[in-house]
Amino acid sequence: MAHRIAVIAGDGIGTEVMPEGIRALEAAAKRFNIPLEFTTFEFGSCDYYLEHGSMLPDDWFEQLKGFDALFYGAVGWPDKVPDHISLWGSLLQFRRRFDQYINLRPCKLMPGIKSPLAGREPGDIDFYVVRENTEGEYSSIGGKMFEGTEREIVLQETVMSRTGIDRVLKYAFDLAQTRPRKKLTSATKSNGISITMPYWDERVAEMANSYPEIAVDKFHIDILTANFVLHPDWFDVVVGSNLFGDILSDLGPACTGTIGIAPSANINPEGNFPSLFEPVHGSAPDIAGKGIANPIGQIWSGAMMLEHLGYQEAGEAMVTAIEAVLSDGNSQALTRDIGGQGSTESLGKAIAERIGA
Ligand code: GGG
């Protein structure tokens, strides 16, 4: 039976990189004989919101819950819909209702791409950010008082649960155990944020007792961001709260030359619900419609999706094809963010051809 994939391209460059993600997946499906069936949904975009008054239809959960995976583009177009409405109305609903509590974001310096950090070569930067994905600073708990007056007060709580922290830490420790360096770094800020972050640290220390072979360190988020730039080679698996993980997983890929190549997997490890695969980048309205967005983040996310569905070899072949095209350095194929003169389509086609070869 075919694996059913729900496709939601969303906004901006999401609609441009998505066809290349599908092209690459179809090439892998053909080569490795994987039955994939794509179903496209128009909801989850700001244009849908303008027409219907919400980002998603009332029955979105029922419509999507039976799929094997969601392949997602990007959300947001602030000139049309305020960002917090579009994000909370779509992507964050998927993450929460489908309990995709792991956001896994590889960060790797690829061949042929120049890091903005002097002297860094492929192999120097190769780590994962594991982001807690359903609670933390991304809470909807809070409110406003005395709105519109000089006494205006706004309040938003951070929510951290023992279950929520432990399950993301367990995933991160398990991942570190599969890595040659067996190293885990925890992102924290327990000097300034004096309740939730020390609690996070306590849970890390407790969990570390069950993983004696893992070398554990922790950094406050401020110096950690500096160390991402100064010493990216220090890191192997980095685990952080929803907000810290979000920041680090933009910064990490920026250190590898472009955020355009960074993939992510929003995972429900128990498989009770579909997991969601999306590039780390957003909808980038400033370059939307120009055909110049880098499709690699979308394609690599597709590779993560195939691996999640059990097709390790096919996923690896997709990443190998990305590396091969980057190594070739054909400027007619590559997009501008990585030094080429090509388009979203030219890069997508070059990678799909390699996958099929
Ligand atoms: N493809 C990722 C995307 O659309 N990101 C938009 C965004 O603002 N995401 C925030 C988040 O991941 O929490």
Nearest CA to ligand 1 atom 4: 74
The single residue listed with the structure tokens 């359903």 is 134
Q: Ligand 1 centre and the CA of 104: distance in Å?
A: 13
User: Which residues are within 8 A (CB) of 310 and not within 5 positions of it... i.e. 6 or more apart?
Assistant: none
> Please, which pLDDT band fits residue 307 given cuts at 50, 70 and 90?
very high
Count of Cβ atoms closer than 10 Å to residue 205 Cβ: 12
Judging by DSSP bridges, how do beta strands 183-188 and 215-220 pair with one another? Answer: parallel
Q: Ligand 1 centre and the CA of 198: distance in Å?
A: 27
Tens-digit pLDDT profile for residues 88-143: 999 999 999 999 999 999 999 999 999 999 889 888 999 999 999 999 999 989 99
Q: What are the phi and psi torsion angles at 61 (to 5°)?
A: -60, -45
Q: Ligand 1 centre and the CA of 67: distance in Å?
A: 21
ipTM greater than 0.85, yes or no?
yes
**What are the pocket residues of ligand 1 if the criterion is a CB atom closer than 6 Å to any ligand atom?**
74-76, 87, 246, 278-279, 281-283
Tens-digit pLDDT profile for residues 68-88: 999 999 999 999 999 999 999
Assign 175 to helix, strand or coil.
Answer: helix
pLDDT at 357 over 90: no
Nearest CA to ligand 1 atom 13: 246
Q: Ligand 1 centre and the CA of 331: distance in Å?
A: 29
Query: Measuring CA to CA, which residue among 71, 109, 136 is closest to residue 266?
Result: 71
Tens-digit pLDDT profile for residues 316-339: 999 999 999 999 999 999 999 999
Q: Ligand 1 centre and the CA of 281: distance in Å?
A: 7
The string of DSSP codes covering 6-64 is EEEEESTTHHHHHHHHHHHHHHHHHHHT--EEEEEE--SSHHHHHHHSSSS-TTHHHHH
Q: Ligand 1 centre and the CA of 246: distance in Å?
A: 9
pLDDT at 268 over 90: yes
> Please, which pLDDT band fits residue 245 given cuts at 50, 70 and 90?
very high
Query: Of ligand 1's atoms, which has the minimum distance to the CA of residue 242?
Result: 13
Query: Of ligand 1's atoms, which has the minimum distance to the CA of residue 138?
Result: 13
Nearest CA to ligand 1 atom 1: 74
Is 284 in contact with 293 (CB distance < 8 Å)?
A: yes
Assign 347 to helix, strand or coil.
Answer: helix
Is 340 in contact with 125 (CB distance < 8 Å)?
A: no
Query: Measuring CA to CA, which residue among 321, 344, 350 is closest to residue 14?
Result: 344
CA distance 97 to 7: 17
Q: Please, what is the average pLDDT of the chain?
A: 97
Query: Measuring CA to CA, which residue among 39, 21, 32, 46 is closest to residue 283?
Result: 46
Is 24 in contact with 325 (CB distance < 8 Å)?
A: no
- Domains located in the chain, CATH noted: 1-114+259-357 (3.40.718.10), 126-255 (3.40.718.10)
Query: Of ligand 1's atoms, which has the minimum distance to the CA of residue 92?
Result: 13
Count of Cβ atoms closer than 10 Å to residue 209 Cβ: 7
pLDDT at 32 over 90: yes
User: DSSP strand E in the chain: where?
Assistant: 3-10, 36-41, 69-74, 102-108, 126-132, 142-145, 153-156, 183-188, 215-220, 237-240, 263-267, 275-279
Q: Ligand 1 centre and the CA of 327: distance in Å?
A: 29
CA distance 320 to 187: 31
Query: Of ligand 1's atoms, which has the minimum distance to the CA of residue 103?
Result: 12
**What pTM was computed for the model?**
0.96
Kindly state the average pLDDT of the residues 188-193.
97
Nearest CA to ligand 1 atom 6: 282
CA distance 157 to 175: 30
Q: Ligand 1 centre and the CA of 95: distance in Å?
A: 11
Nearest CA to ligand 1 atom 5: 282
Distance of alpha carbon 86 from its chain centroid, rounded? 17
